[in-house]
Chains A and B, each alone.
Chain A
Amino acid sequence: MAPDPFFKALSQLYPPERLLTQAVQLMAYESDALTAFRARPTAVVLPTTQQEVIDTVRLCHAHGVPFVARGSGTSLSGGSLPVENGIVIALNRLNRILKLDPEQRTAVVEPGVVNLHISEAAAPYGLYYAPDPSSQSICTIGGNVAFNSGGAHCLKYGMTSNHVLGLKVVLADGEVVEFGGESAEGVGVGPDLVGLFVGSEGLFGVALEITVRLMPVVERYRTVLAAYDSLERAGDAVALVVASGLLPGAIEIMDRLAIKAAETAVHAGYPANAAALLIVELEGEAAQVEQEFQQLLPVIEASGATEVRVAQNAAERATIWKGRKGAFSSVGRLSPDYVVQDGVVPRSRLGRALAEIDRLSRAYGLDVANVFHAGDGNLHPLILYDGKQPGALEHAEALAGEILRLCIQLGGSITGEHGVGMEKRSYMPELFDAVSLETMRAIRRQLDPQEIANPGKMFPGGEAPALALHGMHPLEKAGVISRE
């Protein structure tokens, strides 16, 4: 338990309705979208101003109390899992859009602003905020910054980090620092501190103000759906598209099991009996995209597709994406439980990775559905299991671990966009040598000497709550959020 003086000070900072300490109030914050982990914090605070966040962090620092900053809790890696002897700083109420400048294509927002709300605010000016994680209707920009979130459209314009220009943060010891700004060049002179902070998984401190760049709304999309009689053929088609010199906005693949799940749940009308579906989307200025489309079609037609469909209007495009984006939550209809991995392999090794995942799936006797960002080699194998059977979760986790090792062996990474968090930290020593990991830890200690900011994440070791089965996130079950 945290010392009493700490709580006394905390209660002077917050009115009772914004300082949650009752078990029934705390339960809602026990886990994030990775429901296998659960931990009850000693308190949850709901700041409404930046100063309250700063004061809270300073209080935590003075008393050595760990804190976890959290938005909507959609992390898939346990990144916003609370610490049992610490507090949660829930930032959803710190959600003002402070400035939106369409002429400079920038917006300054607070961390609790929902990702999609930025695009909605920018829409009247013909602009939008590009990174589009599948949970974008509820996930907050603060969480996106902490975990460098991605989405289906990262191929051309990158992830969260490529869209953040400036930050005001409170470091774990209470110092407030500002860097970068409204220039599209970001920090521009001196080391890229914005780049360092984005994706630091909350281990440095809390972002208070985020300057993002906005992009012009896409004038023309051309979305092609192609069916294949084998996953390998779909993979080969990706290589052909890439070799043609085109730069699509998104290249996605779903395998048979994922297609079945999507059909069952959202009736996307995908071609029946396909072993794999490929989605290629071109985006940009109309004249250019139409010309690219004329190049793309023969490439797809020559790729051995059994059926090719082209979205004729926005509604047809939306249907194609609805099946893809809802694939994860749809899998919930085929299986009581699943775990999802987020490994990355070089694009040319996709075929090998998928063949190996198939072999592992049979060896473990567990079905694996594959939905992935083929354009950037970012796999999302969903391992299906029945949590009611003793040892089933551990068995599924073991298979997931083998897939992560496979990604490392093939020259890739253990995470493309979900972050290391709680879930993948034990694999960090396999991805990074000891000196590199120790160097990252040394940076962390310089910025957070007491290691009180989101402790236990990213780095291996430390106290980890036991894996426990809690099923799908309620919002995920309802189809409100989904895993990419």
Chain B
Amino acid sequence: MNEKPTSITAVQEFIQSAPGTVWLRGGGSKPALSTPANGATALELGGLSGILEYEPAEYTFTALAGTAVADVIAALAENGQYLPFDPLLAEAGATLGGTVAANTAGSGRFRYGGVRDFILGVRFVDGRGQLVRGGGKVVKNSAGFDLPKFFVGSLGRYGVLVELTFKVFPRPQAFQTVRAAYPDLAAALGATFRLAQTSLEMDAVDLLPQEGRCALLLRVGGLAAVLPERAARLRQFLQAEAGAGETAVLAEDDDAQLWQAANRLAWAPPSAAVVKIPLAPKQAPALDARLGSWARRYTCAANVAWVAAADTAVLHQTLCDLGLVGLQLTGQAADPILGQRRGASLARRVKQALDPNAVLGMEV
């Protein structure tokens, strides 16, 4: 029996003879998800690593699931391409499989969509050790059920991801960031609502409440020659609005550092548990009012909240009250899903089809 397999066959053999519950771990960058529950056996997938196919002209690549996101980013960058959903915690060692299973896209997902919008194909080992394929290796495909999308957010409970195919895009030549300061979250949110009805294209829209104020960070990417003009237009739009405080266009180095820091969750105190909360932007103020002094950041124009919770039990109650759901990424968790889940009965039925003996992860 091998707990750190280096081949797909070895993963199948491990699952087929699994002694009990199996917990999956990639790079360990999200400990709340990868630390095994009591009595569970850890299956390390970091040994299942490597890019198998990458033809830049196809805008696709296929890699083993344990491949480090950072390695993929480097290989793509050599050809002027990138993963537009901005996989989170790349520097901390996140793997492709872990990024899909946890559904962790970063701030950059605003422009072209999240993990679900770039995954094309999947091979996984189901709860009986069978190797199953879904989707394909071409950018457009509607044959069969869309299992690749289903596995986004699957948390290692429905199958062991072993091979993944993604769509990629040409990387914007350059980026610039416009920063504006607002008196509070509601005011910053109001600016994003008005921006939503313009044709201005942004790569990231983050809202960062801090010390009684709220920063709005707008990142623009594209051809270098017109970038200053586009950033200036964006800044002008904000300045023309009531309530906008100081606005600035960041220097190039500051821009890069700012978004790298966001990708490694540098805004969150190391001792806190970072929780991802998808929400409608208009739900953000009600959530924010309940968070006290905890650090938080809103990405994707406040369609996702990230909260550094000092007490996850309190946050769980808050989310239940507001009808929201959250996923704990860091810290320790008995159950990383907080708040109110939707569609659980449907998920349970799929679990029955893919892992009838409940070998993988926790109950769903």
A residues contacting B by CB (< 8 A) are 101-106, 125-127, 147-148, 150, 154-159, 161-162, 171, 175, 177-196, 198-200, 216-219, 239, 242-243, 245-247, 284-285, 287-288, 290-292, 295, 344-348, 373, 376-378, 411-420, 424, 428, 431-433, 435-437, 439-440, 442-447, 458
Q: Give the contacting residue for A446; candidates B230, B325, B342, B352; CB below 8 A.
A: B352
Q: Give the contacting residue for A431; candidates B143, B223, B229, B353; CB below 8 A.
A: B143
Residues of B in contact, count (CB < 8 Å) = 87
CB contacts (< 8 Å) of B349 on chain A: these are 446-447
Q: Give the contacting residue for B154; candidates A191, A288, A292, A418; CB below 8 A.
A: A191
CB contacts (< 8 Å) of A432 on chain B: these are 133, 143-144
Asked if B341 contacts A190 (CB within 8 A), the reply is yes
Asked if B303 contacts A346 (CB within 8 A), the reply is no
The 4 closest A-B pairs by CB, nearest first: A195-B149, A188-B278, A179-B343, A103-B193
Contact with A along B255-285 (1 / 0, CB 8 A): 0000000000000000000001111111000
Asked if B280 contacts A104 (CB within 8 A), the reply is yes
A413 in contact with B136 given A181-B280, A191-B151 (CB within 8 Å):
yes
Which of A175, A196, A428 has the most CB atoms of chain B within a 10 A radius of its CB?
A: A196
Contact with A along B130-144 (1 / 0, CB 8 A): 111110111111111
Which of B80, B141, B233 has the most CB atoms of chain A within a 10 A radius of its CB?
A: B141
Asked if A414 contacts B280 (CB within 8 A), the reply is no
Q: A190-B344, A411-B137, A443-B354 are in contact. List 4 more A-B contacts (CB 8 A).
A: A154-B140, A185-B304, A188-B153, A191-B158
A192 to B147, CA, bound (A): 9
| Count of chain A to chain B residue pairs whose CB atoms are closer than 8 Å in the complex | 283
A419 to B342, CA, bound (A): 28
Q: Give the contacting residue for A162; candidates B113, B132, B337; CB below 8 A.
A: B113
Q: Give the contacting residue for A443; candidates B145, B327, B345; CB below 8 A.
A: B145
Asked if A347 contacts B58 (CB within 8 A), the reply is yes
B20 at the interface (CB under 8 A from A): no
Asked if B113 contacts A442 (CB within 8 A), the reply is no
B17 at the interface (CB under 8 A from A): no
A187 in contact with B303 given A192-B152, A373-B140, A432-B133 (CB within 8 Å):
no
A416 in contact with B142 given A189-B153, A435-B130 (CB within 8 Å):
yes
A383 to B313, CA, bound (A): 63
A467 to B280, CA, bound (A): 48
Which of A159, A291, A433 has the most CB atoms of chain B within a 10 A radius of its CB?
A: A291
Residue of chain A at shortest CB distance from B348 = A446
In the assembled complex, 14 residue pairs joining A and B whose CB atoms fall closer than 8 Å, in A order, are: A181-B278, A189-B153, A189-B327, A192-B149, A192-B150, A193-B343, A239-B57, A288-B230, A377-B138, A412-B141, A413-B141, A432-B133, A446-B349, A446-B353
